[in-house]
Structure 1
């Protein structure tokens, strides 16, 4: 039996988690779901954003499925804490167009690979004076982490039959940190002569994503740059409601939609569950349940293409579980 820790979190995280689990329950899987707590709601009751029991459950599971949390000012982020504790060093953000979705481009299919453990998200900050008028944040880049994420990106290119990896950086200004990241990328590239390698500045890529997004296959970059670029890229194909993600480590995977807890619509049951459902499919791929992952992906594509059932963000009036049930119906048609 495969153990999967589930963390619904706050706001619409609870709603999309319910939808995601319903879809997984429709498959012939031998999963043990271990429901765990984290987020601002848990903090308000217990004074802690993520309890040790949740971290223990995640470490003892083969994978973790995460909903969404509301940030608690001044407190540690549950998702960043989980990434660090699980050493989930690679964040994967697939950018794919879906037929039936009104988007800027209808033929995109590329992947953003983001280093997940360091950079400005290391959260090493301090004040430079007693009056707290100067704030300092350390941007930590190491050769070890840079090599690991570059190798992951090239291996992913091979496994996914992609042809090019683009290193994104700002080494002309951040000469030491991004200089190290860029040099390490090209050192790793020497071991993959059949995969084209290139590098571009972050500001140029931000423009090229709008003007020439078809030129990308796999983008590999540092933590903050990857966070920004992946959200920008999601806007090209319909928005965050369709954007899944995975955080991959050597021994565990953490999977989540990236749309946030959306407190303005929480409780109305109108949130789009597709990002969570697709994140569940990514989890199944990670767990070598490829057949069932493909079933989910095909079902989602068919539902979106038909446009018969859509939540408000997609131009419809359907409820969260209406869309999830439509996906389940499509899965049942395949069996």
Structure 2
């Protein structure tokens, strides 16, 4: 079986060489096609951070094993790591955090073992990077959460939790504030949970989860989160077990999957052969199991755990009173321990069941669209208008334009209502949201556009959003105080 390998930037080539040396010593039945990705590819003028040949190879092979990569700063380019995940629709990010012997943390010293799986939706949310300046003072980011995207991701989460015999699966969210976006994520979680009655499924508000993770992390098992919240909380969990140097990561897609180190490129120590390869090695073990190579994965993981129990370490962790090994020596120590088992948490070996990857390239983009179950009605429109005037003056001008279809019902600023009621203590930016709701007549997109044209006689209309209703369910939020 052949996979694509991108060594990465900074310490990437050193730790990748160490991991592949371990794989070869364990007789892992893989061959490698090395592809060009990373900052140095950006610097050659490839705006995606990868060459066309690299993209074609990865799409042909279906698996990418990559070292840490740097995105150039201040050049207006997107992160190559995020781009790769999104372009190939690796919709689920899986990170496993576990207590490792020899990696001291406050929890290991207290005798509290940790094993957490963080599952992060990988495509949507604010990581779409859809941002605009409405005025020189007001920036807006569109946070897109889709029902089909949630269902695809959460179905993977429940299936994975079921296969690994999870004792608990938890949905973390902020649906108490973001009632439509996080509310949709939670709704999909609860819908799929009903298909797995034997799994204990519950939910927690994400800020409460952050507190509980640093006080009682042992209470949790599998946690599902949206993209941004998952990014933040997964790094928090890395801190619980010793840092990003011990945090493996898998990005799972329908056709293509990516396994990577999630720590930085550490340019200050690049080329010195002193970097810790553990994170990339653990990510590689996730890749081997994804490919059905269970036997070699168990051999390597048991050797790694035994090595750590011996007190062997690189310079970034372990007993400072003992000599640290360089990258090459650390890999050699693991190889020397093949066939040995750790005193605790030994991994049971299973026969290999190589997976046949779906390498048939789709002929067109797959459209994620849910069946329509409810009638859609346009209840009005929110117009985002630029003005540095007082709310009353803005309302006076807006009231000139509703016409036969609409009524001006409220003005809000930064999400807080300032007209017809409000407080002079509310500070306002120079973008107001003018909510025009329909009168007792049907409205169309054309009537909304006509309203925009009329209002634009007095204001710059920066943006607009339709007020949609599906059956009896309102598809828009109310302003604070409305």
The interval holding the TM-score normalised by the smaller chain is: over 0.9
- What is the alpha-carbon distance in structure 2 between the residues aligned to residue 157 and residue 203 of structure 1? 23
> How many residues are treated as equivalent by the alignment?
332
1:112 aligns with 2:111: no
2:96 to 94, 97, 115: 94
Structure-to-structure mapping, 1:211-250, within 5 angstroms: 211-250=215-254
- What is the alpha-carbon distance in structure 2 between the residues aligned to residue 304 and residue 29 of structure 1? 22
Structure-to-structure mapping, 1:184-199, within 5 angstroms: 184-199=188-203
- Which secondary structure state, in structure 2, belongs to the residue aligned with residue 60 of structure 1? helix
Shift of 1:333: 5.4
Aligned to 2:52: 52
Which one is further off, 215-224 or 249-258? Answer: 249-258
TM-score by length of structure 2 reads 0.67
Shift of 1:173: 0.8
Which one is further off, 224-233 or 72-81? Answer: 72-81
> Is the 1:70–1:260 Cα contact (8 Å) retained in structure 2?
yes
> Is the 2:18–2:327 Cα contact (8 Å) retained in structure 1?
yes
Aligned to 1:298: 302
- What is the alpha-carbon distance in structure 1 between the residues aligned to residue 24 and residue 251 of structure 2? 23
Which one is further off, 55-64 or 268-277? Answer: 55-64
- What is the alpha-carbon distance in structure 1 between the residues aligned to residue 304 and residue 215 of structure 2? 28
Aligned to 2:80: 78
Unpaired runs of at least 5, structure 2: 342-348, 350-482
Unpaired runs of at least 5, structure 1: none
| Cα RMSD for the two superposed structures | 1.6
Higher relative contact order (CA 8 A, sep 6+): 1
- What is the alpha-carbon distance in structure 2 between the residues aligned to residue 137 and residue 50 of structure 1? 27
Aligned to 1:122: 128
- What is the alpha-carbon distance in structure 2 between the residues aligned to residue 221 and residue 308 of structure 1? 35
- Which secondary structure state, in structure 2, belongs to the residue aligned with residue 150 of structure 1? helix
Shift of 1:329: 1.4
- What is the alpha-carbon distance in structure 2 between the residues aligned to residue 244 and residue 44 of structure 1? 28
Structure that is richer in helix per residue: 1
- What is the alpha-carbon distance in structure 2 between the residues aligned to residue 248 and residue 215 of structure 1? 26
2:144 to 133, 137, 140: 140
- What is the alpha-carbon distance in structure 1 between the residues aligned to residue 206 and residue 16 of structure 2? 34
Structure-to-structure mapping, 1:1-335, within 5 angstroms: 2-48=1-47, 49-73=49-73, 74-106=76-108, 107-129=113-135, 131=136, 133-314=137-318, 315=320, 317-331=324-338
- What is the alpha-carbon distance in structure 2 between the residues aligned to residue 213 and residue 24 of structure 1? 32
Which one is further off, 237-246 or 97-106? Answer: 97-106
> Is the 2:269–2:275 Cα contact (8 Å) retained in structure 1?
yes
Shift of 1:78: 1.6
- Which secondary structure state, in structure 1, belongs to the residue aligned with residue 42 of structure 2? helix
TM-score by length of structure 1 reads 0.95
Shift of 1:76: 2.1
Shift of 1:313: 3.5
Say which one has the larger Rg.
2
> Is the 2:306–2:340 Cα contact (8 Å) retained in structure 1?
no
> Is the 1:20–1:324 Cα contact (8 Å) retained in structure 2?
yes
- What is the alpha-carbon distance in structure 1 between the residues aligned to residue 313 and residue 208 of structure 2? 38
